[in-house]
Amino acid sequence: MNNISQSQIEYLNSPITVLKGIGPKKAQLFSRLGINTIWDLVYYFPGSYDDRRKVCMLRECIPGELCCVKVRPIRQIIERKIKPKLSIFLLYASDGYDTVTIKWFSAPFSKPKVLSGHEYTVYGQMREIGGKKEFEMRYMEDSENPRYTEAIIPIYPATSGLSSKVISEAVTMALESVNALSDCLPEQITKKYSLMNLLDAVKTLHRPDDFHNLKAAHDRLAFEELFVLTLALSFIKKRRVDKSGITINATSHVREFASRLPFILTDGQKQTINDICSDLKSQKPMNRLVQGDVGCGKTAVAAAILYATAKSGYQSAFMAPTEILANQHYNTLTSLLGSEVRIALFTSSVKGKARLSEAIAKGEYDIVVGTHALIEGKLQFSNLALCITDEQHRFGVNQRAMLSSKGISPHVLVMSATPIPRTLSLILYGDLDISVIKSMPKGRQTIETYHILPNIRERAYGFVRKEVSLGHQCYVVCPLVEDSEAIEASSVEQTISVLRTGALRGLSVECVHGKMKADEKDEIMNRFKNNEINVLVSTTVIEVGVDVPNATVMLIENAERFGLSQLHQLRGRVGRGDYKSYCILVSDCTTDNCRERMKIMTETTDGFEISQKDLELRGSGQFFGTRQHGVPELKVANLFSDAHLLQNAVESAKEIIQADAALSSPELANIRGRIDALFAEFDGYDIFN
């Protein structure tokens, strides 16, 4: 690892206003993108690249194919206004052999000056219109000093008032004074995997000279990113293993619980329970993720372990992301465990919390089911031995740690109904052991899924009305709460208005969305659960919701605006009872990617297969908000295309931990700094304390 001078550190930590042309106003625009310092700017990488290296003669241009041409103006630019704020510009030019009209659209009065006889490089594409050829220009500059043509050009994620070009110019200025970067990779690792020098990699990502070097630069930075993150999670895991836990012999209690169930546990449930029992009787605190598709029976697994913990004389905490879900778990556990296990419900709306808190602290309850209220107040437990969090993607690393802090090294079980590909699990849950339940309980309904175009929407709502006439209920999901001028998509407010006066007139149609107060949402959802509402129009707030066995139709408007995994989660809200259930995806697909996604949804109900496809089609950055999962976002790495790097990064992290479990040696100081910064930037989680 290289050393970096103090002056270079100070420069990298300087505000971007030290750069020429960036004042307070422009700095505010950069701040929208998370760019405040020179370091932020240097590590703000392009999202894509334009290959503008191909230079053609006019007669060689293939219509529709992007390329550069070198031409000289024949006459001055002509401007024709077509709207108050839009003009069309025409330039007649020649490459010495042929002539062409170069055309582009821009704001009025933005006509550039061109010198007769002077050569310009123009990037764009040839078009044939009415038998005549025109060259549609995307960029033009003087051929004597090309900067944005005849090269691979970085395209940066931009924001209103701040273009990719302006960002590129700022990055170029910043890099001129950067001669070293703090490299956290040990030398033996860079040599083992033949990784590019860090500074060269950063500069190459911003200004690649060819795609071979660009890939090498990407691999270097992606490896480092994955290495730091997996090392951080491995460090957490190693530190947890070094602690002593509460020994619970759960086997006999679990067998007793299973024998009283009105159904037989699946093989997947049994294996997961075996994994957990093995963890509980070891002398180390359990830290396990139970991952399974919607309806696979994770709650029954949790109930078995909660029962065994209570029968062993210890307390458990069960945290859910919403009051509705907490209430549902409370009712389910009360039904499954009976009166011999004392269960309390602890949420922000529960009355008499002071008295309840005192009773929990005295050990008068075996299981406490609740929401964030479990960690937000001063609630204390008598002998907390097990912490369970449901729908883990709604909680962060810090929240999980806060719940665990209520006891002395309690066992931790987290549950997720979002099937995650193995590569992604290594990052998101690298500090956890993982159990997967793939088998489904007998009798679980297979949901028929259909993709329809918007022009037959009325027929779909006719089907919804038919299902309601049979005594069933339906969901309608929209991507927006209210209409937006910027986004053309269905909104809850507009949809419910149209349905109440049109296709579903006379039915009980209500809505729920994230802008409503918690008690309003709970009231609507409880009425829906009690079959007082026929059709519930909603945003994705019902993705994690109550179990309504009577709901048989999930109709999703603008389905193209949701990820595959999210669509699958929404689909899992129906088919939970004894009735045939359906999912209808309304989407006017216009791209091959969209059509492929709709096809996947109609052909498979396997959540793991869907999540893998989702990762392939959308990339890890949009698979779901990694920040929502309690892990910082990856700036360079893609967990699908960089899976080979991830495996090497995991192996390297393990080697480092085995050699120096505390990461205490001086040569690992940069690694410690990167890990601390990574988690501090995210949610203040202090990994080393």
- Mean pLDDT throughout 570-595? 88
- DSSP lists the bridge partners of residue 476 as 537, 555
Name which of 366, 407, 369 is nearest 388 in CA terms. Answer: 369
The sign of the CA dihedral 644, 647, 650, 651 is negative
Residue 621 pLDDT exceeds 50: no
Beta strand 367-370 pairing with 315-319:
parallel
| Mean pLDDT value across the chain | 85
Task: Please report, rounded to a whole number, the percentage of residues in the chain having pLDDT higher than 70.
Answer: 88
More confident residue, 404 or 389: 389
Q: Which residue has the tokens 């390297």?
A: 652
- Mean pLDDT throughout 654-668? 81
Look at residue 97 in the predicted model and tell me its pLDDT: 94
Residue 350 pLDDT exceeds 70: yes
Look at residue 396 in the predicted model and tell me its pLDDT: 57
Tokens of 682: 């995210």
Residue 684 pLDDT exceeds 80: no
More confident residue, 411 or 689: 411
- Mean pLDDT throughout 449-476? 95
More confident residue, 630 or 395: 395
H-helix or E-strand spanning residue 259: helix 251-259
Instruction: Judge whether 126 and 111 are in contact, CB under 8 Å.
Output: no
DSSP-derived secondary structure letter, 390: S
Q: What is the pLDDT of residues 133-173, one digit of tens each?
A: 899 999 999 999 899 999 999 999 888 889 999 999 999 99
Distance of CA 629 to the CA centre of its chain: 8
Distance CA 603, CA 585 (A): 13
Distance CA 115, CA 72 (A): 8
Q: Which amino acid is present at 517? A: K
Residue 688 pLDDT exceeds 60: no
Q: What is the pLDDT of residues 12-39, one digit of tens each?
A: 999 999 999 999 999 999 999 999 999 9
DSSP-derived secondary structure letter, 530: T
Beta strand 473-477 pairing with 551-556:
parallel
Tokens of 207: 């200004």
Residue 234 pLDDT exceeds 80: no
Beta strand 99-106 pairing with 120-129:
unpaired
Instruction: Judge whether 69 and 56 are in contact, CB under 8 Å.
Output: yes
- Mean pLDDT throughout 46-61? 93
Taking the C-alpha atoms of 22, 23, 24 and 28 in order, what is their torsion angle to the nearest 10 degrees? -20
Q: Judge if pTM exceeds 0.75.
A: no
DSSP-derived secondary structure letter, 4: -
Distance CA 339, CA 18 (A): 68
Instruction: Judge whether 112 and 140 are in contact, CB under 8 Å.
Output: yes
Least reliable range by pLDDT among 247-261, 379-393, 667-681: 667-681
Across 613-626, b (16+ Cβ under 10 Å) vs e yields: bbbebbebeebbeb
Residue 392 pLDDT exceeds 60: no
For 281-301, the three-class secondary structure string (H helix, E strand, C coil) is: HCCCCCEEEEEECCCCCHHHH
For residue 293, CA distances in Å to 288, 298, 415, 434, 604 come to 17, 9, 11, 14, 13
H-helix or E-strand spanning residue 170: helix 164-175
Q: What is the pLDDT of residues 417-439, one digit of tens each?
A: 766 665 566 655 655 778 888 87
**Range among 203-212, 437-446, 558-567 rated most confident:** 203-212
| Distance linking the first and last C-alpha atoms of the chain | 25
Distance CA 333, CA 298 (A): 12
User: How many beta carbons lie within 10 A of that of residue 507, not counting itself?
Assistant: 16
